[in-house]
Structure 1
């Protein structure tokens, strides 16, 4: 008994360590601090690694902003250039139309000038020729030409009345076209919606111009013109003109 007590409470008894008990919130606080420290250290190492590798966040953000501004400026310049190109294109089209119109006017004036010169030469020859006073009506400047469309033809002539103090000439014109189609030669009169004759009424001269259409496969050879005076059945003047090549 005594020996047992000595072993428990004597010198040879086992040592007992007394430790204070740590509260749970202190442990969680320590864990949280360590976790935050680890995260901060990891982020610092990650950021340092990016900088070391050349991926600076601030520099990348700055570069992105710079590229965005440059892109916006380029888009604006591109839009301005597009508007300028559209304006130049419209101006070019207007210039082209104006040039075509001027070309047509020049051709028309050249044609009119040539016609006036021919008319002047005709009247000069008419005035200087002998025997013209006896023939009251004559046909001058008779032409037959191809038109601008397939199967279209244009003719023109100048009716002239000579003599001393001529009276107004009243009458009509009749036209007939000689052509070949499908190997057959034919002649047809030219007529408008009202009649086959063209009424004329003039004192000294009158110009006649018109166009007619035939099938595109028809080949025109010539045109015949007859001048009738009002009240007279027989033609006063008759003239034939070949197609100008």
Structure 2
């Protein structure tokens, strides 16, 4: 796996790179946003570790630009530690968020969880499914989602979340359940991280995210995929 490590603090960058290399990963590094974005456009990478407070172009802008053309997993590692900052990071397309100071083993665990999710999608193929008279079409093999025949770009986390809900249509999944299936670990906190991912997914697949027909909230319990959404297997 090739990782792009975007961090302007040399000491942090060197330590992280050393551990990543020991894990057997190919590591590219960048110290500013412009260089990082150029690398993602010219070189195929499997994961981006992204600091937000970097020169020339902010990490937020780098994340937004990457998401315009790629669903490569993005792990934000930032000193911005407020919950609002974390939610913002997820809203602009990050798959996961770790605050500084961090433990190296936690970073490695998050990377491994992301890698397992990528490998799982690569290894298994599923039929194409459509809903609501093909207004929503999901191709599980190509990992593509179409809304009214228009391709919408989901992050790895968003696609995994949709996959988890579709595995048990009609069943209410708690935030803890979804975090385990999607992230590979159970969240610690009030669940706003998973809520943010649900919100982002609804914006992309629901015609009216405030009145969803696919992903339904069950107050105090969690979320479920609506089995009455006219599902049809087409492949």
Q: TM-score, normalised by structure 2?
A: 0.23
Structure with higher Rg: it is: 1
- Which is helix-richer, 1 or 2? 1
